[in-house]
Structures are given as C-alpha cells and as structure tokens.
C-alpha cells in the first residue's frame, strides 16, 4: 500500500509533465480567447484594439456559419455510420480462420497510416476524376455518363474519402473486442439452435457496445477538426466548407485573426457539447 511519502514523491515526479501539458493546452486557449476580443489584422494595421463581442456576433451572423456547422455534423455522422457498420462486418470477417490471415489484417489496417493529404489526392485523381478516374471508367463500362464526384456529389465524396481512412481504426478496435468474446457462449447458443443473426444480436453486439462507444468518442473528436481532405479536394466549395475550414478562411484568406479566433471558440464549444453528449453514452455503457 502506498505511503504518504511515496505519494508525495510520485506527485513531485509527475509535476513537470503535468505543468508542461497544462501549458501546452492553456497557452493557445488563452491566446485564442484574447485575440477573439480584438480587431487584429496582421497585414492591414496589426492590432487595432479591443472590440468586445463584435467578432463573435459577426462570425455567428455570417451566412456561412450555420451551413458550415451542418456540413461538419453531416460529415461526422456519415463517417461514423459507415465506419461502425463496416467495421463490425470486417471485424467479424477477420476473426474467422483463413489463409494468410495476418497479411489480410495488415492490408485492412494499412489505410489508417496514410497521410490525410495523400489519401485525398489518391481518391481525387485516381478514383473520382471525371475523365480518367476509376469510377469514370466503371460508369462508361456500364453505359452510364461519368459524373464529377467532387462537385455533383461533394459531401458523399468527402464522407467516402474520410471513411476509407478511419475504417481501419474502427475495425482494429472492434476486432480486439470480438477476440475477447468468450467462444463458449456462442457455442452454447449454436448448440441450442440459435441462428447466426440471433447469436450476433444477443451475444456479439452487446459485447461490442463498449468498443463501439469508444470508437464513437475518439473518431468524433478528430472528425470535428477535419480539414486536409477538404482543402485538397474541394477547397470548401460545393457545400463542403466545415467549421474548421471556415475558420481557416477567416484567418488566412481574410487575414482577420480576431474573427478567426472567435470561430475557434465556437468550434471549442461545439466540440465540448458533442464530447459531453458522447461521454454520457460511454459512461452508461461502461457502467453497465
């Protein structure tokens, strides 16, 4: 049992790392809050003084604000649905004994290690190009006219690209959960005459509930900040401008740091609302 002296020593040894972590988190946050109350134009006069909540009002009253929030939530929701559904299917498939199982698992997980910019460029030029892309050739093979995916089906295209990158992560987490399932339960249910769908619905799926909630939480946190895929493919056009991309435009394209900082605060608020909602779901499943 840890003594009072050992606990004090542990706190003392952890203090530098905790202080560094707090500084790494709090300094950018404090600077963002400070700039959000200023009119700061780096190339057009610099710091022009405090403006109160003017930046917040301008940002939220912009005609692009609510469409960007809608695009963000649409992409997050679409990617979560696809990655969880196909992640469960792939996890069940990869858990079955097969020849070359290790190689197959590596190939399935490999897309997660591809940089977002690279994966977006591959999808844009090799798959979705309306002239020479793979989808265009498939459309012509079946006698259909190829479409310009990134302009005519922009949001579904972004969802497809991001899902391809995040599907291996969901598969890996869910596969680990399936491998921890007691095989005797499935064998007993099979001996009792339970069909495969009922075994999945009453045994496998409840066992995966915790893993699914963890995937939901982690992916949502990262997907709310999606940027590279949109920057490389559509540049925020055709209804794909997310909240993160709108902040980028306000800061770098409009050179208005104060307005962009106010947008960053809104993004933090949105992320915390979603995180709190998901943490309640995770907490209920972990306590069950």
Whether 120 maps to a domain, the answer reads no
Q: Is the pLDDT of residue 84 over 50?
A: yes
Residue 249 DSSP class: I
Cβ neighbours for 101, distance < 8 A, ≥ 6 positions apart: 94
Distances (CA, A) of 113 to 5, 76, 152: 44, 20, 29
The SS3 assignment for 25 reads helix
**Tens-place pLDDT, residues 233-261:** 888 888 889 988 988 888 777 788 888 88
Work out the average pLDDT over 91-114.
78
Whether 275 maps to a domain, the answer reads yes
Q: What is the CATH number of the domain that holds 92?
A: 1.10.3720.10
Distances (CA, A) of 122 to 155, 169, 219: 17, 19, 22
The SS3 assignment for 194 reads coil
Whether 184 maps to a domain, the answer reads yes
Distances (CA, A) of 193 to 26, 96, 279: 58, 20, 38
Phi first, then psi, for residue 47 (nearest 5°) are -75, 115
Neighbour count for residue 47 (Cβ, 10 Å): 13
**Tens-place pLDDT, residues 158-183:** 999 999 989 988 988 888 888 887 76
Q: Output the pLDDT for position 261.
A: 86
Whether 144 maps to a domain, the answer reads no
Is the Cβ–Cβ distance between 64 and 241 less than 8 Å?
yes
CA 119, CA 126: separation in Å to the nearest integer? Answer: 10
Whether 271 maps to a domain, the answer reads yes
Q: Output the pLDDT for position 86.
A: 92
CA 140, CA 34: separation in Å to the nearest integer? Answer: 55
Whether 2 maps to a domain, the answer reads no
Residue 1's pLDDT band, with cuts at 50, 70 and 90, is very low
How many domains does the chain fold into? Answer: 1
Whether 47 maps to a domain, the answer reads yes
Q: Output the pLDDT for position 110.
A: 78
Q: Which structural domain range is residue 179 located in?
A: 34-106+167-287
Whether 241 maps to a domain, the answer reads yes
CA 148, CA 128: separation in Å to the nearest integer? Answer: 7
């Amino acid at each position: 049992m840890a003594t009072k002296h050992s606990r004090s020593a542990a706190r003392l040894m952890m203090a530098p790392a905790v202080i560094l972590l707090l500084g790494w988190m709090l300094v950018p946050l404090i600077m963002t809050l400070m700039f959000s109350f200023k009119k700061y134009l780096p190339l057009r006069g610099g710091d022009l003084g405090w403006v109160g909540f003017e930046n917040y009002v301008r940002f939220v009253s912009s005609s692009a604000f609510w469409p960007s929030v809608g695009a963000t939530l649409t992409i997050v929701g679409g990617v979560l649905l696809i990655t969880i559904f196909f992640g469960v299917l792939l996890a069940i498939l990869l858990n079955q004994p097969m020849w070359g199982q290790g190689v197959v698992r590596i190939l399935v997980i490999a897309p997660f290690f591809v940089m977002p910019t690279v994966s977006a460029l591959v999808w844009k030029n090799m798959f979705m190009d309306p002239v020479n892309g793979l989808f265009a050739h498939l459309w012509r093979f079946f006698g259909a006219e190829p479409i310009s995916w990134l302009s005519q089906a922009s949001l579904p295209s972004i969802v497809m690209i991001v899902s391809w990158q995040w599907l291996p992560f969901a598969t890996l987490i869910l596969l680990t959960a399936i491998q921890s399932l007691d095989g005797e339960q499935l064998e007993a249910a099979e001996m009792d005459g339970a069909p495969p769908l009922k075994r999945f619905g009453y045994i496998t799926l409840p066992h995966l509930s915790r893993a699914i909630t963890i995937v939901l939480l982690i992916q949502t946190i990262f997907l709310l900040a999606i940027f590279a895929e949109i920057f490389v493919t559509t540049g925020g056009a055709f209804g794909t401008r997310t909240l993160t991309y709108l902040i980028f435009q306000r800061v770098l394209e409009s050179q208005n740091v104060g307005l962009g900082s106010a947008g960053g605060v809104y993004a933090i608020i949105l992320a915390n609302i979603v995180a709190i909602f998901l943490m309640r779901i995770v907490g209920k499943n972990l306590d069950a």
